[in-house]
């Protein structure tokens, strides 16, 4: 695939609010990207020129924000709407090996869709097997977080990531990774064995640590994980907010590699 053929959709609905910077991250790397409203995929009230299909794209992103006001649970309404109108298309998209990224609210959406942890390769969208619960602090946690990259090469979004520890900021109230009671150890074992753990919260010395380094109380300090195939990644911290490194006046931020990696992967298809 050629770089000029790549098309990346960032899917928005009412209440998403990180689509602009996510689109810009891809555009800054010279790739076509656009924010697309979910309605553009199914509504017949949309002008012909604005109608879209998932097959128009090589990669889709569910951005951060407060989709549908976070009513019911964060991501629940967005995911219910996807299930009702795009479920089969999304399943085919993931089964074809195309990458899907969920950042923050996007991760909550992928969890609600059952796309993550995504143990079953044949059912990339299914019933919920994890939850992103309310932070242990019961607060909205908004600040830099340090993440240890632990993926051994499966995740298509971090293949090019050389740094062991990166700084992506977090900004969420519901980000605590919870697995079904009694199955926690089994899930973590499977995630490790399958190389599905991508990022874990650490302290400044690179050690797994509790609050405030782990901002939400996530089990096993999990900040981001991918499906068994490695083409669906969900993470609570925001790589698009550190595309540039504002703090050290260095041009390249830690988040940039996430976008570079997936472009590299798409070019290899």
Q: Which residues bind other proteins (CB under 8 A)?
A: 72-73, 76-77, 80, 83, 112, 127-131, 133-138, 176, 178-181, 217
Residue with smaller CB distance to other proteins, 168 or 179:
179
Q: Is 18 within 8 Å of 103 (Cβ atoms)?
A: yes
Residue 149 among the catalytic residues: no
Catalytic residue among 21, 141, 226, 238: 238
Helix and strand numbers, DSSP H then E, in the chain: 6, 11
Which residue is catalytic, options 104, 141, 172, 226?
104
Joined together, the tokens standing for residue 128 give: 């919920």
Among the listed residues 19, 21, 150, 240, the single catalytic one is: 240
Q: Which is nearer to other proteins, 149 or 176 (CB)?
A: 176
Residue 238 annotated among the catalytic residues of the structure: yes
Containing H/E element for 82?
helix 76-85
37 catalytically annotated: no
Query: Nearest approach, Cβ of 163 to other proteins (angstroms)?
Result: 32
Cβ at position 242, least distance to other proteins in Å: 27
**Residue appearing with tokens 């290899």:** 268
The CA distances from residue 216 to 170, 227, 237, in Å, are 10, 22, 11
Q: Which is nearer to other proteins, 19 or 174 (CB)?
A: 174
- Given a contact cutoff of 8 angstroms between Cβ atoms, the answer to whether 254 and 168 are in contact is yes
> Residue 84 — φ and ψ, nearest 5°?
-75, -30
Shortest distance in whole angstroms from residue 83 CB to other proteins: 8
Cα distances (angstroms) measured from residue 235 to each of 42, 151, 212: 27, 13, 18
DSSP SS3 for 119: coil
Query: Could you say which DSSP state residue 250 is in?
Result: B
Work out how close the CB of 106 gets to other proteins at its nearest, in angstroms, rounded to a whole number.
17
Residue 97 or 212 having the CB closest to other proteins: 212
Closest CA relative to residue 156, chosen from 25, 61, 20, 50: 61
Q: Report, in Å, the least distance between residue 132 CB and other proteins.
A: 9
CB of 138 to other proteins, least distance (A): 4
What's the burial of 47, exposed, middle or buried (CB within 10 Å: 0-12/13-18/19+)?
A: exposed
Residue position matching structure tokens 């302290």: 203
Report the residue number, 73 or 159, with the smaller CB distance to other proteins. 73
Which residue's CB is nearer to other proteins, number 69 or number 180?
A: 180
157 vs 226: CA distance, rounded Å: 9
Catalytic amino acids? 104, 238, 240
């Amino acid at each position: 695939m050629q770089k000029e053929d790549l098309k990346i959709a960032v899917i928005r609905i009412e209440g998403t609010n990180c689509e602009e910077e996510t689109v810009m991250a891809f555009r800054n790397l010279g790739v076509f990207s656009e924010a697309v409203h979910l309605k553009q995929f199914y509504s017949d009230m949309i002008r012909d020129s604005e109608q879209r299909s998932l097959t128009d794209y090589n990669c889709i992103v569910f951005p951060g924000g407060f989709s549908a006001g976070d009513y019911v649970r964060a991501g629940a309404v967005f995911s219910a709407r996807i299930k009702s109108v795009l479920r089969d298309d999304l399943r085919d998209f993931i089964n074809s090996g195309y990458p899907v990224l969920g950042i923050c609210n996007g991760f909550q959406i992928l969890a609600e869709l059952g796309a993550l942890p995504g143990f079953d390769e044949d059912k990339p969208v299914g019933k919920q097997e994890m939850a992103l619960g309310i932070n242990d602090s019961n607060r909205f946690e908004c600040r830099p977080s340090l993440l240890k990259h632990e993926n051994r090469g499966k995740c298509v979004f971090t293949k090019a990531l050389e740094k062991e520890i990166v700084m992506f900021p977090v900004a969420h109230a519901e980000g605590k990774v919870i697995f079904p009671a009694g199955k926690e150890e089994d899930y973590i074992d499977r995630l490790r064995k399958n190389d599905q753990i991508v990022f874990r919260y650490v302290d400044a010395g690179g050690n797994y640590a509790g609050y405030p380094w782990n901002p939400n109380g996530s089990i096993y300090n999990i900040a981001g994980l991918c499906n068994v195939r490695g083409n669906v990644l969900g993470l609570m911290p925001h790589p698009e907010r550190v595309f540039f490194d504002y703090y050290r006046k260095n041009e390249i931020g830690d988040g940039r590699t996430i976008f570079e990696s997936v472009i590299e992967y798409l070019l290899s298809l």
